Amino acid sequence: MSLIAVSRFSLFLLLMGYLAGCSGAKDTTRSHTLLSDGWKFSRSTDDTASATNFDDSGWEKVSIPHDWAITGPFDKEWDRQVVAIEQNNEKIPTEKTGRTGALPHIGTGWYRKTFTLPDFKPGKQALLVFDGAMSQPVVYLNGKQVGQWAYGYAYFYIDISKDLLPNQTNTLAVKLTNLPFSSRWYPGAGLYRKVSLIVKNPENFEQWGTFITTPKIDANSATVNIKAKTAGQNLTMSTRIEDANGTTVATFQNEQTAKDTFEQNLTVKAPHLWSPETPYLYTAVTELYANGTLKDVQSIKFGIRSVEYSAAKGFVLNGKATKFKGVCLHHDLGPLGAAINKSALRRQLTILKDLGCNAIRSSHNMPSIEQLELADEMGFLFLAESFDEWGKPKVENGYNLFFEQYAEKDVANLVRATRNHPSIVMWSAGNEVPDQYGAEGLVRAKFLQDVFHREDPTRPVTVGMDQVKQTMESGFGALLDIPGLNYRTHLYEDAHKAFPQGFILGSETASTISSRGVYKFPVEPAKDKNYPDHQCSSYDLESCVWSNLPEDDFILQDDKPWVIGEFVWTGFDYLGEPWPYDEHWPSRSSYFGISDLAGLPKDRYYLYRSRWNTQDETLHMLPHWNWEGREGQTTPVFVYTNYDSAELFVNGKSMGIQQKTKDKTPQHRYRLMWMDVKYEPGTVKVVAFDKDGKPVAQKEMKTAGKPHRIVLDPDVKTLKADGQDLSFVTVSVVDKNGIPCPTATNQMHFKVSGQGTYKAACNGDATSLEVFHLPTMKLFSGKLVVLVQSTQAAGDITLEVSADGLQTGSVGLKSVKP
Ligand code: GAL
């Protein structure tokens, strides 16, 4: 754009700003209201609840996001599934308890809310937007059904312009139904993601209709292409791009030429590229004018970055070959259930950053918008997934019921609602779908991939495949943009030869199982091993029949340049799928996590960290050193470290030097292991060496005495006074010398005073039936986490944690006005 054009344009903007100011910006553009407070909720099955005159005075007052099932109680009868899981090669049906979390999510739930919208006048457009509703939502406005959807993870919106009463009370009612046998994990229940109401002029930007891409990037400049769908006539669209400081770096304006689409190309000079290391975001402010009057404004964050996949270089981000150091995440937030909370998500991503993780796969469904916003801001590559099933079922009442009617719409909404997030670098059309078999499956794979391509020509599509031999023969794997292998490390070579793409993605890897702080003897690799306490050993040598240990994946990624990285199953434990105890009660959450359900790191965390986090030192020892009764018995010590060798000392006696080596087992290449150590109480010390054999780091752990004092460690001390923000306070106990007690199981009691509330607690024990929302819980392996939530008033907050016979712990937090 020439200088003259710029100054004319500025004049235009100034004039428009003046006009907008005169008539009141609120009236001239859109309004966006979050429907979060003032809802009523009931498990009622009474369909008259949709009516305006319905008496909901006895219903529970709730705010959205809300998960009606997370408060429990845990009970194995909820969604008790007597099934043979074909995927796991089971032939005979057995009782699977806890498969979906043993929480009361099955059945019907109703939400009701009344509101008036002074902004709304007939002729305006009003949209009710759901980021997800679990599940089969039926939406009523003023007693009339105005819309419905099916899949609980899908984004959708309903145009309620014709049914909204201007300047009167409107009654919104939403019915949700969760069928039994509809999930393989805990799906949550209710309006667990945000619900918003957008009111726009007749001349407007279509919902999710603007697509920003960056087709040309070099060191000096980047082209930002904006395609926007609009409604109305005699329109002008003007855009300004702001950098992260809010400074305008490019502007553009054009008149309507096509009926309902605008296209603009803007040039950003010396662009800051988005990457996990530099998550730089720009904002495009797009304005729509009709006959010179401002009618609509959107503010869309985006990143400038290029994404390529090739046989020669694999995955290339901004010209640099990059490997996915990724984790799969289910959507639940442990003790918060499925109800979205941005600070809980932020904490997860903060933990993953420290781990050195650079990518997330939203298994096996659409991610929350909040998670994508954080991935953009904090720098994570994102593999956004859609389905766990297509037409053929995995579970009787799964997505197979909706596939024919909804799959295209669900994919289109996924892409349209999220495609401006720079973090998303790949789509996934499915996970281990039974449709990997059969000619129909092939048609469905192509159909879905085409829908993704139609909606977004810039990103490739994968499917996580577990039937690898089948997909090599049928052509299923060959037709995908990205062949994703779930486990099956022994088939990577064959798949690489058979598939034409020239590279393989580890779309799901490891599924190693462990319980934080629990160690079993003898120390040996095992598959599907069961113990009487329903825990798994944290020596990280246990996996499932279909899965493997972390090193099997490390070797492939290190030795085969054509493996473009991995997504470990999973970053955090999740509710449901308590393999290998899914036939044993009690057990209601997974053992797969690198961190536990409370977000506390397991030992495995440090194994991945020693490899993924290339900035910080990792030097971690296991097991703990409190083994009363094991004196003199073999108690191997493992060290996870980024250093290649180290020497171990028990009470000052050297146990020798261990060196990472390719010549023994896969574990010897990535862990340092002293297999013959005999336990004696006291001090274990590890001294790590650099490449020249010089000692560079050391760590010690000591045998603890009896629990004496409670210690509190908050992840953040200052909260936003918005009634949502959380501090995650780790609670542990130490002996009278301050040494952590790793096996303590004391019953803790929590009290929050001041401008905060007790929200929940979690100890990461998959077998615990203590509910999260009551202010008491036992420590598990010496620890638990308490979630303290802000109120809407700023002020001081105190958390006090007490237990019989122990010195009470207390921590002061504060909340400030956002
Ligand atoms: C995979 C599946 C995941 C989870 C995992 C457990 O096959 O895709 O959803 O079930 O196994 O190992």
pLDDT, tens only, 213-258: 999 999 899 999 999 999 999 999 999 999 999 999 999 999 999 8
595 C-beta closer than 6 A to ligand 1: no
pLDDT score at 322? 98
Select from 408, 412, 429 the least CA-distant residue to 480.
Answer: 429
400 C-beta closer than 6 A to ligand 1: no
For residue 477, the number of C-alpha atoms closer than 13 Å in the C-beta half-sphere is 31
582 C-beta closer than 6 A to ligand 1: no
Do 178 and 106 meet the contact criterion of CB atoms below 8 Å apart? yes
567 C-beta closer than 6 A to ligand 1: no
pLDDT score at 6? 33
Question: 297 and 313 share a domain?
Answer: no
Do 768 and 697 meet the contact criterion of CB atoms below 8 Å apart? no
Mean pLDDT of 747-761: 98
- Ligand 1, residue 431: give the atom nearest the CA: 8
- Using CA positions, which residue lies closest to atom 6 of ligand 1? 511
Question: 219 and 183 share a domain?
Answer: no
End-of-domain residue from the set 150, 167, 200: 200
Do 484 and 453 meet the contact criterion of CB atoms below 8 Å apart? no
Q: Give distance in angstroms: CA of 164 to centre of ligand 1.
A: 44
CA distances from 409 to 17, 154, 406, 413, 452 (A): 38, 9, 5, 6, 11
pLDDT tens column, 775-791:
999 999 999 999 999 99
Report the greatest alpha carbon distance in the chain: 88
Question: Is residue 16's pLDDT more than 80?
Answer: no
Structure-block tokens of residue 443: 């048609």
418 vs 415: CA distance, rounded Å: 5
547 C-beta closer than 6 A to ligand 1: yes
803 vs 786: CA distance, rounded Å: 14
Q: Give distance in angstroms: CA of 392 to centre of ligand 1.
A: 17
pLDDT score at 88? 75
Per-residue confidence at 100, pLDDT binned at 50, 70, 90?
very high
In a domain, 659, yes or no: no
**DSSP type of residue 599:** S
Q: Give distance in angstroms: CA of 555 to centre of ligand 1.
A: 21
In a domain, 620, yes or no: no
DSSP 604-671: HHHHHHHHH--SS--EEEES-S--TT-TTSB--EEEEESSSEEEEEETTEEEEEEE--SSS-HHHHH-
435 C-beta closer than 6 A to ligand 1: no
722 vs 481: CA distance, rounded Å: 43
In a domain, 136, yes or no: yes
Per-residue confidence at 385, pLDDT binned at 50, 70, 90?
very high
Question: 403 and 472 share a domain?
Answer: yes
511 C-beta closer than 6 A to ligand 1: yes
Per-residue confidence at 17, pLDDT binned at 50, 70, 90?
very low
Residue 221, C-beta contacts closer than 8 angstroms, at least 6 positions apart = 267, 268, 269, 270, 271
779 vs 765: CA distance, rounded Å: 9
Q: Give distance in angstroms: CA of 315 to centre of ligand 1.
A: 24
328 vs 362: CA distance, rounded Å: 6
Residue spans of alpha helices (H) in 270-388: 342-355, 369-378
Per-residue confidence at 21, pLDDT binned at 50, 70, 90?
very low
Question: 438 and 483 share a domain?
Answer: yes
pLDDT score at 90? 81
CA distances from 29 to 23, 207, 261 (A): 10, 14, 19
Q: Give distance in angstroms: CA of 364 to centre of ligand 1.
A: 10
**Full domain range(s) for residue 402:** 307-511+546-574
- Using CA positions, which residue lies closest to atom 4 of ligand 1? 569
Per-residue confidence at 83, pLDDT binned at 50, 70, 90?
confident
355 vs 690: CA distance, rounded Å: 21
| Residue 68, domain CATH | 2.60.120.260
Q: What is the mean pLDDT of the chain?
A: 95
Q: Give distance in angstroms: CA of 471 to centre of ligand 1.
A: 18
pLDDT tens column, 296-313:
999 999 999 999 999 999
* Sign of the C-alpha dihedral computed for residues 302, 306, 310 and 314 taken in this order: negative
In a domain, 80, yes or no: yes
Phi, psi at 4, each rounded to 5°: -60, -45
**DSSP type of residue 418:** H
Question: 557 and 408 share a domain?
Answer: yes
CA distance between the termini of the chain:
39
| Residue 735, domain CATH | 2.60.40.10
Q: Give distance in angstroms: CA of 422 to centre of ligand 1.
A: 27
End-of-domain residue from the set 276, 302, 328: 302
314 vs 644: CA distance, rounded Å: 28
Ligand 1, from 185, 399, 577: best to mutate by most atoms within 8 Å of Cβ? 577
What percent of the chain has a predicted confidence (pLDDT) above 90?
93
Question: 218 and 142 share a domain?
Answer: no
pLDDT score at 418? 98
| Residue 368, domain CATH | 3.20.20.80
pLDDT tens column, 414-443:
999 999 999 999 999 999 999 999 999 999
- Using CA positions, which residue lies closest to atom 3 of ligand 1? 569
pLDDT score at 3? 31
544 C-beta closer than 6 A to ligand 1: yes
- Ligand 1, residue 547: give the atom nearest the CA: 12
In a domain, 488, yes or no: yes
Of the listed ranges 78-82, 354-358, 458-462, 609-613, the one predicted with least confidence: 78-82
432 C-beta closer than 6 A to ligand 1: yes
- Ligand 1, residue 546: give the atom nearest the CA: 12
In a domain, 601, yes or no: no
297 vs 288: CA distance, rounded Å: 6
Question: 219 and 364 share a domain?
Answer: no
Question: 450 and 384 share a domain?
Answer: yes
735 vs 626: CA distance, rounded Å: 12
Question: 290 and 312 share a domain?
Answer: no
Do 803 and 764 meet the contact criterion of CB atoms below 8 Å apart? no
- Ligand 1, residue 464: give the atom nearest the CA: 8
Packing angle of the helix pair 403-418, 369-378 (nearest 10 deg)? 40
Question: 393 and 483 share a domain?
Answer: yes
Number of domains the chain is built from: 4
In a domain, 589, yes or no: no
Q: Can you count the helices (H) and strands (E) in the chain?
A: 12, 48
Question: 294 and 318 share a domain?
Answer: no
Q: Give distance in angstroms: CA of 44 to centre of ligand 1.
A: 34
> What are the E-state strand segments in 341-480?
359-362, 381-385, 424-431, 461-465
End-of-domain residue from the set 574, 594, 611: 574
348 C-beta closer than 6 A to ligand 1: no
Question: 361 and 472 share a domain?
Answer: yes
Structure-block tokens of residue 514: 């462990």
CA distances from 735 to 557, 628, 749 (A): 43, 15, 19
- Using CA positions, which residue lies closest to atom 12 of ligand 1? 511
- Ligand 1, residue 544: give the atom nearest the CA: 12
In a domain, 643, yes or no: no
Q: Give distance in angstroms: CA of 546 to centre of ligand 1.
A: 9
Of the listed ranges 24-33, 89-98, 286-295, 665-674, the one predicted with least confidence: 24-33
Which residues have a catalytic role annotated?
A: 432, 508
431 C-beta closer than 6 A to ligand 1: yes
186 C-beta closer than 6 A to ligand 1: no
pLDDT score at 18? 34
